Amino acid sequence: MKVLVSNIMMLNEQARFDAVLREKGIEPIWPEVNQFMGEAQCMEFAGQIDGWLAGDDRITDAVLEAFLPRLKVISKWGTGLDSIDLEAAKRRGVPVCNSPGAFRDAVGEYAIGLLLTATRRLARTDRMIRQAGWPKGRFPGMAGRTMGVIGYGAIGQGVGQRARGLGMEVIAHDPYMSTAPDGTQLVSFPELLAQADVICLCCNQTAENYHLINADALEHARDGVVVVNVARGGLIDEAALVAGLQSGKVGAAALDVFETEPLPQDHPLLQFENVAVSSHNANSTIEAIEYVHANTLENLFKHLTA
């Protein structure tokens, strides 16, 4: 059996997982990947594999058709499945597995860390001290403010839990929920915009919510709103966010994801001291990563040996 390994996390430890797979009698295929494989690169491996340890690869209906009848399973590293045509996979009988809930704590912690980095200028203070400065700033605190979480699954609930630890009120918007498991008040998107001092994006990206945070949404948000994104870059219209930062409508932004990754060095978001940026790495705890490694392999083996 042959398995395509295209997720960045296992590619970064190729020797380790090459050995694990070969011990199971599986021959791994290791492509060169820049973040994820587009449809054309995926097609290069059509008909050659029995299983796929996938990353954020663009696995479309056309890709699935080309990989059949040989492909038995797609085991996605991580939680998000928005890059895979799930309806097509179901229709064609290809099981798609992931690790739901695995990053609740890791991403919840990171979202709050990014929020404080942006609002309290932590990175700037660090840089200035290293350059012999000793800055004394005055910045907004979070206690008593309202955190509006968009997408209230495991990660959103993890953010909400930690926001309450800062003394924040928490509201959430999730079109797939009628009640929140932890009792958080669910509101409409317009209500969230009107009430939230901080908007934290924790949802999957879909065709319906692409550029959810755009110029119109920011116009209806509170003055000085802080935007946090630990979900997907396409949820934010970056040009509108830049305009909001320039006008002061947006008080700060904390961003782990972007429409183009890696983020170009000339991107206008990098000109703002009240913007904290990160490298799509909010899941970066040892515990979470090792759990997902193990679960992703288990999902693969379960379907290949069935």
Question: Catalytic site residues?
Answer: 232, 261, 280
Q: Exposure pattern of 81-108 as b/e (b: 16+ CB <10 Å)? A: bebbbeebbeeeebebbbbeebbbbbbb
Rounded Cα–Cα distance for residues 202 and 159 (Å):
9
Q: How many C-alpha atoms does 203 have within 13 Å on its Cβ side? A: 27
The C-alpha angle 175, 275, 110, rounded to 5 degrees, equals 60
CA 276 to chain centroid: 16
